[in-house]
Chain A
Amino acid sequence: MSTETPAPASSPSLDKPERAGEFSLDVEERSIVGAFHDWVTRLRTGDPGALPSVVGLVVLGIIFMQVSSAFLTRYNIGNLPGQGVYIAVIAMGLVFVLLLGEIDLSAGTAGGMCAALAAVAIFDGDLSNGLPTFMYWSLVVGLAIGVGLAVWVKAWSASVVIALGFLLVVTNLTQHLELALLAAICIGTAIGVLNGVLVAKVGIPSFVVTLALFLAWQGVLQFALAGRPVNTSNYDFWHNLTYGTLSPTQSWIFTLVVVLGFLAFTLTEALRAKAAHLTHDAISLVLLRGGLIALVGIVLTILANQNRNPNERSTLVIQGIPTAAVIALVLMIACTLALKRTTWGRHLYATGGNAEAARRAGIDVVHMKVTAFALCSSFGAMGGILLASSQSSASLDLGSGNVLLFSVAAAVIGGTSLFGGRGKPRDAILGALVIVIIPNGLGLKPSLGAQWQQVITGIVLLLAAAIDAVSRRRARRS
């Protein structure tokens, strides 16, 4: 391949055609050994990636296997996704905001409030019946203002989502469960736009904005519920978000779609790059990686598709992949594509890495911040819905307490940096697994009290933050 350079004839570059191989490290094909070598280099230059959280999971797993023989059973492991999915989803939303070096402390309580609104709507028929008149109209006006704010900062997709929420609320379609939950997510988007505008346009530090709203939404939630929690396990769709499973056939279809989709995507990409003489992973590397993921997926599906009810006399059959795991995985894939493959994602990383550089490159930093906060609160709303499902109740303290702190901890344990610029949706899932495995493992041995849970979680978080700080320092030095 000899590339034409746009330079005039006097340019020295035309003396000899340049090609990819001229850049000595830009080997065109990355072999399996090369990939391993790259990974070691990344570790040494301060990007530990998923390694700390995976090691943490394995260590905790080994410890809890000693604590109780019930830990590594298919029944117990099958319960993990339902117990932890709300942390994973809220943490995934937080990743967007943390990438910018900001924080959203209100994601938990905002999400809890959104879920409570959905609960009130279906419990009382619809929102206009369920809420006090003043609150209902405040909500309607708030959503309208949300649309306006989103349009103002050119967050078009957010404005469409909020407008949808507005329509659902004013047309009283919130009497249908699925639509009520959808409206809750749309309300979350509006809250996020408000956060973003206060941070990026008004210029209040995100810590203060979201701390204030963290307190405020708890109160609004109690107004909405008016002192009576709503039992969500009466609503099958809601209950099954964290307690349901796919049928064995659906499980196989899901696994095959994910595994084959990943394989096909990475393979076509490598082949296309190879044809265009660009740097790419060797086909053997792509197949090895895809094969490993396929192996893990297939083994897990086989295990999940057997009856895991530990009660042998019970006729209840528990089998299939937990719905919660499907939700987390689908969201993770969508977020990863958005961050890695779209200009929006690239701009988000750039804004988090160097906001001034992004601004000079013509990126609308205000727009990036508002969209990140909007996504964070939307995920917060989903997290609130999942939390209500897993605790079977839209309670009066839904989403408050440790929910948000656990979610931040999950993102950080997974490898997302609090200083901005580094993080992946995958971090949220791995971190949430670490966070949820601790109470799960300790709960199997009742003699170990809840105090242990908090101490251990704290130590794990401290370790993760230390790894982040140390690796940052290494990255600067190299």
Chain B
Amino acid sequence: MEVKTFPAVDMEIRKWGAKPESLIQVLHGTQESLGYLPEEVLTYISEKLNVPLSKIYGVVTFYNFFKLKKDAGHVIMVCMGTACYVKGSENILDVICNHLGIKPNEITKDGRFAVRIVRCLGCCGLAPAIMVDGKDVYGKVTKEKVLEILTKYS
């Protein structure tokens, strides 16, 4: 049987060392280059770091950050931190979900958009806030503004 190699994973393991305690950092790096954590890659990491696959599955599912499935084209994160919540972020979430025809934490059928609830973006001064694709933050969002933002990505 041909042994599959994953250069991106190897690079991370070289950086952090082939030891069990490197697991979370290696998973971070791997997800950054692959977008998610496919099963075969986890098996590979399991062998390289000498951590049972069951333990790795335990870690991956424990932390919100890690994903076992490929993500949508654009991920819209609606902040539900306290400051955003008291300033009406639930309404913003409703508007986005209605517009895309999905529920929170779902992906649209065409796989282009996902809506997720996040705890706090740390932008409380700009509440309510949303973040798109993990980098573009929009503050003081209103029901009208949010639809305008969405059109930028469609």
Partners in one complex: no
